[in-house]
Amino acid sequence: MPVTFIDIERQKNWRIGVLFFFLVFLYFLFAFILVQLVVAFLPGSEIFFVGAKLKYVAAISALALTISVVHFGISGYTAVDRVVEQVRALAPDPDDGVHRQLINVMDEISIASGSRKQIQCLVIPTLSLNALAVSDLKGRALIAITEGLLSRLTREQIEAVMAHEMYHVLSGDCLDASVATSLFGLYASAAEGLKEAVAQDFRVIPFLILFRVLNSLGMIVTMFISREREYRADAGAVRMTRNPLALAEALNLISGRWTGAGCIHEGLEMLCISSPSPDIHDQTEGWWSDLMSTHPPLVKRIDILLRMARVSPSALDRKGRTRTAYQPEAETLYYALDPENVWIGPFRVTELTAFPWFSAATMLSAQPGGDVEVAETMTVADLVLDRNPAEGRGGVIMSCSSCRQPLRKESCAQTTVHRCVLCQGVLVDNDRIFRILARREITCGERTKALLLAVTADSQRSLSIRKLRLRERKTIPFARCPRCGREMFRSFYSYAFLIELDKCSICKVTWFDADELEMLQCLIENKLPETASDHIGRPQP
């Protein structure tokens, strides 16, 4: 274990060599099989085996080595440029207050790490929450953070995230991941290019298949890339900033939110702080998940950081909420007499209303054994009793998929929806969506328009329909259907209306986050401002 980051930087990296030999082996295998096939189909020649004709093997090896060197060279030296191009990262604008702060934070972290390496810092213009680090064989290194994450984190949290990425760069594991990504990214882009050519000429199909196969071999490389590196980078970040809580808060904010699926190019997962297209392996443990996934479960990472900070997860939750717009008020806690005549509690008023048996006649008390009152007579009663909590299948209380608060039945455009009291997200039955939209009772305010503009511009930019189809029907591990508890699928409302929604295909319900229903209404009614078409598809300077 190196003592300082300066020492880490001085160390030579051996894993990159392993990667190179893997590539040579891969090409050797391919060339060998290819020659075998050609020989087998040529008339008048017999199949030869390894060792049978040494000069063939030597020739194939030489060929494999040459191709590998060229391929490795190209991808190793262009890794940073390729990623910059793919995510469309821009240099931070020194006239922008937030960006100026980012530049300063970057310098601070540079000092904390004691590194003399020049590391570029860029901003990715997207609303998703993510950050990534790339470095290449030229010695260039780059840390990029999305505009979405930048705007939602406090100064300390940005510092923690940047320190995490900085550790990736300094420890050298970023170089392995970057080169691996770039190696197989070349195949992916070659396959992409050939797919266009297929329409004109059918003879390129074998090459297309070849590149596809090679690309899927890239999966093997993700197995080399250990999940442990994320834990190590978290620990390294804490060593630089001495602030585990800030990193835990930042990860907590990222978890369960849009981390850039579809916007951050597929295949860049390894470089990101949290996987942009999370699948189930990213949230589970065990040897299979360890093998298949590049990121450990966020929950576990947060847990480790919180233990370092000696803070309980619930405190983080409270803190996380105060940071956002929601300010919890000091609420009175009540004990309640349940149907079996047992005092239970204490509960908040919102929690009490979640019980199916809670009614105006329920006995309440401020402390166990204290003065007992009927719920009806309490001042909170008016607020609570006229609203019924929504029941899911089998009488289970439905709770919000993101904040776990009970959902309340509510009337929207004369039909019933279930709204979360905390985050204002809405659960709507699929067949009711059209009713709500058709009735046009939701008004379209300035705020909605602005949100809509940002969201659709973000979704449309750089996305072809094909890419959209690819990302359809992916499970979102954090969002569970409030009704049945199964994982929901995240997909667009339609390809014409690019608003991302979580759907449960079994219960036939759709979860709209706060404002999403309004935005959809607004979009469908075509209430976009006049200038909208100018903005969409073009990143804001």
Hey, which residues are catalytic here?
165
According to DSSP H, which parts of 243-294 are helical? 244-254, 287-292
Site track 117-156 with another protein (rule: CB under 8 A), x = hit: --------------------------------------x-
Comparing CB distances to another protein, the nearer of 163 and 519 is: 163
Q: What is the DSSP string of 407-439?
A: EEEEEETTEEEEEETTT--EEEEHHHHHHHHHH
Residue whose token pair is 């100064």: 155
What is the C-alpha R_g of the chain?
Answer: 28
Name residues contacting another protein, limited to 156-175 (CB under 8 A): 159
C-beta of residue 72 within 8 angstroms of C-beta of residue 203: no
Name residues contacting another protein, limited to 290-349 (CB under 8 A): none
Q: How far is the CB of 443 from another protein (least distance, A)?
A: 33
C-beta of residue 91 within 8 angstroms of C-beta of residue 112: no
Comparing CB distances to another protein, the nearer of 10 and 203 is: 10
Given the rule CB under 8 A, which of 107-115, 169-177, 295-303, 409-417 is the region that contacts another protein?
107-115
Comparing CB distances to another protein, the nearer of 111 and 496 is: 111
DSSP code of residue 280: G
The token pair that represents 303 in the structure block: 């847990």
Q: How far is the CB of 104 from another protein (least distance, A)?
A: 4
The token pair that represents 516 in the structure block: 């999403």
Do you find a cis peptide bond into 346, omega within 30 degrees of 0?
Answer: yes
The token pair that represents 400 in the structure block: 């919000």
Please pick, from the candidates 42, 111, 330, 465, the single residue that binds another protein as defined by CB under 8 A.
111
Please pick, from the candidates 93, 114, 210, 343, the single residue that binds another protein as defined by CB under 8 A.
114
Given the rule CB under 8 A, which of 109-117, 173-181, 502-510, 527-535 is the region that contacts another protein?
109-117
Q: How far is the CB of 243 from another protein (least distance, A)?
A: 11
Given the rule CB under 8 A, which of 111-119, 131-139, 198-206, 309-317 is the region that contacts another protein?
111-119
**Distance set, CA 56 to CA 35, 49, 218, 341 (Å):** 9, 10, 27, 87
Nearest to 378 by CA among 415, 420, 340, 333: 333
Q: Is 343 helix (H, G, I), strand (E, B) or coil?
A: strand
Name residues contacting another protein, limited to 217-276 (CB under 8 A): 240, 242
Site track 69-98 with another protein (rule: CB under 8 A), x = hit: ----------------------------x-
**Measured in whole angstroms, how far is the alpha carbon of residue 240 from the centre of its chain?**
25
Site track 508-537 with another protein (rule: CB under 8 A), x = hit: ------------------------------
Q: Is 181 helix (H, G, I), strand (E, B) or coil?
A: helix
Comparing CB distances to another protein, the nearer of 244 and 278 is: 244
Please pick, from the candidates 11, 45, 104, 388, the single residue that binds another protein as defined by CB under 8 A.
104
Q: Is 397 helix (H, G, I), strand (E, B) or coil?
A: strand
Tell me the one-letter amino acid at 196. E
Tell me how long the chain is.
541
The token pair that represents 196 in the structure block: 């266009």
Counting contacts by CB under 8 A, is residue 100 touching another protein? yes
Q: How far is the CB of 8 from another protein (least distance, A)?
A: 13
Tell me the one-letter amino acid at 45. S
Please pick, from the candidates 96, 107, 192, 228, the single residue that binds another protein as defined by CB under 8 A.
107
Q: How many amino acids of this chain bind another protein (CB under 8 A)?
A: 19
According to DSSP H, which parts of 132-172 are helical? 147-152, 155-171
Comparing CB distances to another protein, the nearer of 112 and 337 is: 112
Please pick, from the candidates 109, 119, 378, 407, the single residue that binds another protein as defined by CB under 8 A.
109
Given the rule CB under 8 A, which of 56-64, 101-109, 179-187, 194-202 is the region that contacts another protein?
101-109
Name residues contacting another protein, limited to 1-30 (CB under 8 A): 3-4, 6
Q: What is the DSSP string of 255-283?
A: TTS---BTTBPTT-GGGBSS-SS--GGGG
Q: By the criterion CB under 8 A, which residues form the site for another protein?
A: 3-4, 6, 97, 100-101, 104-105, 107-109, 111-114, 155, 159, 240, 242
